Structure 1
């Protein structure tokens, strides 16, 4: 059960990091102010990924198109590996996301502080989604059809 929770947490953290803007990751990195050495397992590289969709979210899957994605992998000096897959071409963003992925797996004070930063990113993203959802809901139009009938007169 503990391993499952660790996997779910890591998936959640990686999703949050993939959606976080580069400027926010850079600020968080500077806030940590640690001298970190790592080696590249896979330098940041950009390519295309096929995106699939479903009509109405439940229909048959179809190929929607391709999007640009950057990926990388690195290993910290202590052997912890970090991976990142981010949409777009920002190689620095992928690098920082991979560094944070590696830091989050450790069991020290830096990992605890990193988890706090990722929790802040998650809260910011949730509030942005909520705001976007409220804006969309305010423009909702309910259409209805009136039944034609004969006049009682």
Structure 2
């Protein structure tokens, strides 16, 4: 039972991080303004760096180094002890800081409901609406090809 609870919390945390990573920094900041941000300290100051991006090629999916990508990362600890980590593509250290803060708050039993309702859920709704809009635009340009079968005569 304990492992099921742990797995569901990890899944909730993973889903929240996916939403935050795909959202814009101004959108996250706007949603965070709606809640009271708890006292926290930086465990790792926000910083920029590089990561190697790997790809797969060939019939067996052999990995190869595709190139490097710029990332920003941060780590925070709430006054209650929860530790959050934030990573994002690009050079946006404020976004990495906000993601780390949200990650820590998602782990807090007292804050998870408010963060989910006021930050994560609205951002998820925007993300889903944007994906639906893009899918509709793409579907509108779809061309169906068909082949007519000739009779042998």
Normalising by the smaller structure, the TM-score range is 0.7 to 0.9
SS at structure 2 position matched to 1:107: coil
Please list the CA deviations of residues 32-76 of structure 1 after superposition, one character each: whole Å capped at 9, or x if unmatched.
134x32221111111122223456xx9724443322111111111
Q: Which residue of 1 aligns with 2:100?
A: 98
Instruction: Tell me the C-alpha RMSD between the 2 structures.
Output: 2.5
Could you say what secondary structure the match of 1:140 adopts?
coil
Q: Does 1:75 align with 2:77?
A: yes
The answer for unaligned runs of 5 or more in structure 2 is: none
3-state DSSP of counterpart to 2:109 = coil
**Residue of structure 2 equivalent to 1:37:** 39
CA distance in 2 between counterparts of 1:137 and 1:54 reads 28
Aligned counterpart, 1:113: 114
Query: Deviation at 1:16?
Result: 0.9
Q: Is 1:50 aligned to residue 71 of structure 2? A: no
Count of residues paired in the alignment: 148
Cα 1:97/1:134, change in 2 over 3 Å: same
In structure 2, the residue matched to 1:7 is 10
Following TM superposition, by how much is the alpha carbon of 1:96 offset from its aligned partner in structure 2, in angstroms? 0.8
So what's the TM-score if we normalise by structure 1? 0.83
SS at match of 1:79: coil
What's the TM-score, normalizing by structure 2? 0.83
- Structure 1: unaligned runs, 5 residues or longer: none
SS at match of 1:70: strand
